[in-house]
Structure 1
């Protein structure tokens, strides 16, 4: 089978979650509903934070950034699936596929750093309450967002440019509902050792360091909460970070679930279904977690609605 240069590849085929024609309408309705809930929920969070002066704090500033990122993340992965089902087509152009790879990496990386920044904010608020306003000043918050953007962009560009060096053969079917980096690398017929090594190395560093920061922050938070004498004080302190802890558990839990499922099973179809839990479900559930467990957010949403 003779390899053809990547510049001559016109398009890839996204096989989606199922090739059964009878399930396409169900999948379309399900993902359209999920996407609209994600869009509406996160948009309400952003509007509530913008219009309620009491929510103009570092914690809610990071939350608004997370909500905007979730909208973009969901749009990047779900919208092409909906369009392809509606058009009864599986094709995605080479350029669009690489663009999607880059945006997925960017928004997933940014989500990772935003969760770490929010964990640091909660650590300062609970462990150093007297100096919270001094430490978490607008300059530091903006710097954290800027660094997150720069690192996420660099990561996305690095992997996208490395995919450009790959050649693809006649088998251009991607067993997924979006162009995931690992799946694109798998169908390449040129040497992918450098790409795979880079994926594992960069993912370990950019994923591991923020996760270690989150674990350290919550270790210190739990230690501080346990030293609070009153039960009411413990509950109040825990309630300020309970929502974020649930979001962190959901994001990393589903991400590790996808990693483990891909390592245990060789079925690309099962991996694609597992990826739904990582890319689609967290952005949809995050607004519910923050609104249901946060009294200030509840009141702001009631005023807005």
Structure 2
């Protein structure tokens, strides 16, 4: 019986034009109208994607090989594609040039604080714009979106005057406190995701006597975890790479971040910048972001895709 079933399945697969495995994966190569592209078009598309990937990875590759070259080899012409001498000591030298670990700790504290506050504040505001019905909700949301078109230089001087009058210049306050207030982009992203949650489920929880806070944190928050992860990643990357904020508000070296600390390589000897140490320090700065992205890549992709399509 098993043998006859296997033969029947094989014959059916042959009659339909291929093996079951081939038929299973052929749907991924179909166009929207159901037609299949030619093999040449598929390989041309893949070749273009590989070339674009190489183009984007070229600066990263050049940064890595420059970080392990000697100053003499780095200044030679024409440049070498592979280091003749691997100088791994550049990383320890780069850390010794500046108080790297102090700047690293400052960046971690500021980034973690901003991520937590951004997630909480944007989630609360997005919940109010998506899961609660109240008059003028959509019109007020348009005002929130309008803040995205406000250029940063326009608010630069007024915000600095505000923090100076409060007495928070040369503190971490101007870098952390704004995260307590929701931003337009993060609110939009979370709102689009949470609008997909069935209102019947929320109304059933209200009928059972659950408060809005209980519904928000026990029901909606776990459901919106992919979008919340995207907000956390974007907030972490933006805060970690922020250069203008620490440059404006932090004058004390003990409070500065890595983005400002890297400038030590340029200010120490402007006429002879050690680019190999600069590249080594840059690699150490971006490693936490790369690790963060690969750890939460699944949530990042799902949050972006589900937040943009219903």
Tell me if both proteins adopt one fold, taking TM over 0.5 as the criterion.
no
Computing the radius of gyration from Cα coordinates, the structure with the larger value is: 2
Report which of the two has the higher share of helix. Answer: 1
Normalising by the residue count of structure 1, what TM-score does the alignment of the two structures yield? Answer: 0.30
